[in-house]
Amino acid sequence: MDEKALAERFGIRVCQEIHQFPFVRDKVNIVPYLLAKQRKAIPLEETPLGVAVAISDPLDLETIAELKLLLKKPILPVYATKEAIEGAIERCYHQKDEETRRLFSELAKGEASLDGSFLEEYDLLQQSEENPIIRMVNTLLLDAIQNGASDIHFEPTESGLSIRYRVDGILQQKHTPPREYQLQILTRLKVMAKMDIAEHRLPQDGRIKLRQGGREIDFRVSTLPIVYGERIVIRILDKGNVVLGLDRIGMGERLLKTMRKLVHMPEGIVLVTGPTGSGKTTTLYSALSEVNDAEVNIITIEDPVEYKISGISQVNVNPRIDLTFAKGLRHILRQDPDVIMIGEIRDRETAEIAIQASLTGHLVFSTLHTNDTPSALTRLADMGIEPYLLASSLLGVVAQRLVRKICPNCKTSYTPSLEERKELNLSKEGIKLYKGTGCSGCFGTGYKGRVALYELMPVTGKIKEQVLKSQDAEELRKVALSQGMVSLFACGVEIALQGVTTSSEVLRVTRIEEEL
């Protein structure tokens, strides 16, 4: 009998969603963090009958007794899953938004010395009376995660240290700590990333592995010497926020059907294109998860491996020991793979090996940095790949961009002006578009989260004919559009009309494509 059935049998209330209870919603914590974490139990609300507490084990009478003794009130158990309780604990015990600023003001009043001690992995939510620099750095990392940041920028300037978060693809100024603590903050980050703290002249790379409540989070750290000191950028690799699966990354029904057909082909190349930070890696991982099976041997070579996926062998590129994409790919082909994922095709050698692999019975996924789908074929031709090889090996090309979604809490509709309708190629009058006015939930930006725009070009017979004639991107685009391809711009306009994003976001990420 499972835990839920046990709870129902003993008459314990079962609740699947506990985030709407007052204590969780308002981030009220009335028991110590370690107790909540270890016992997988969290108070939800106080009623005239006692304190409602979410528990994951209906038979854990010891925890109920301990909480009754601690709170000095009757305990009303409520059953919830471990995942739901861990999420509620993470919310309740996260530092409030003002905590970081308060710590900065504390630093300005007192003295702080750097403690070099470092635990390789510890819980960010488990705050203690540590050195104020350590507490402040921990709180900064926690604050960035809570804000949904993908990167944290620590940039020394003439006036002090500027700390910015990249949220939904846009940099936002967040904090400016006292100048006298700049070196200590940056040194602490280097200590955590196991870098050489005595080296200030050369760039360095490192990683930090920490926990936030029940989930592990990796941080990729990069330093760069600049005029006013060392600039540090931290990429946050939060596995808890990764959504994998072609049906879960925002592809439309028609596009999803075509994409699934491509990724289940026995051999050939599928390319994903777009600028840095456009979600190419997530799309590739989603494609891999679609074909991930015990009967399929999948090997990837990446620079670096960002997320580890069960059932897939992943190789890290390492130029220091001459493990390049091309060299690694040659050895991967000796491992009897069925599916190969190459992080990026950067040169002719890698492109040639990938094409040969696809022609000898392997399905190959990879990325290119181009603006749209037809330009991918032009880029490969510029690398020196023969047109007949492109026509015979390529299955399809996906181009994508990420646009910010309108915050659902402050979303409003409006009637666009004639000029705005012209920019979106909308001739019909009386249509409605949407925008966010800004609220506390979206930190006043009007946006919360991101969604992808896609452009998928299957390499059909007509496309192959055009490739053999000419690899000109504009000619290829005309043929692809005549074959039914929906452009990035058209995809953006469609979701803007649906109220998912704004017209300004669509124009921001697709303007280059339209001006080509």
Residue 513 has pLDDT above 80, yes or no: no
Rg, C-alpha atoms of the chain: 26
Mean pLDDT of 339-344: 94
Q: How far apart are CA 153 and CA 155, in angstroms?
A: 6
Say if residues 298 and 342 touch (Cβ distance below 8 Å).
Answer: no
Length of the chain: 516
pLDDT digit string, tens, across residues 195-247? 999 898 999 999 998 877 667 788 999 999 999 899 999 999 877 666 778 88
Distance of CA 410 to the CA centre of its chain: 24
Say if residues 56 and 82 touch (Cβ distance below 8 Å).
Answer: yes
Q: How far apart are CA 258 and CA 454, in angstroms?
A: 12
Structure tokens at 411: 């979303």
- State pTM to two decimals: 0.72
Say if residues 480 and 378 touch (Cβ distance below 8 Å).
Answer: no
Mean pLDDT of 26-50: 84
Confidence (pLDDT) at 114: 35
Give residue 486's pLDDT band: very low, low, confident or very high (50, 70, 90): very high
DSSP calls for 463-486: HHHHHHH---HHHHHHHHHHTTPP
Please, what is the average pLDDT of the chain? 86
Placement of tokens 């600023």 in the chain: 101
Q: Comparing C-alpha atoms, which of 361, 321, 318, 360 is closest to residue 343?
A: 318
Please report, rounded to a whole number, the percentage of residues in the chain having pLDDT higher than 70.
Answer: 90
Confidence (pLDDT) at 219: 92
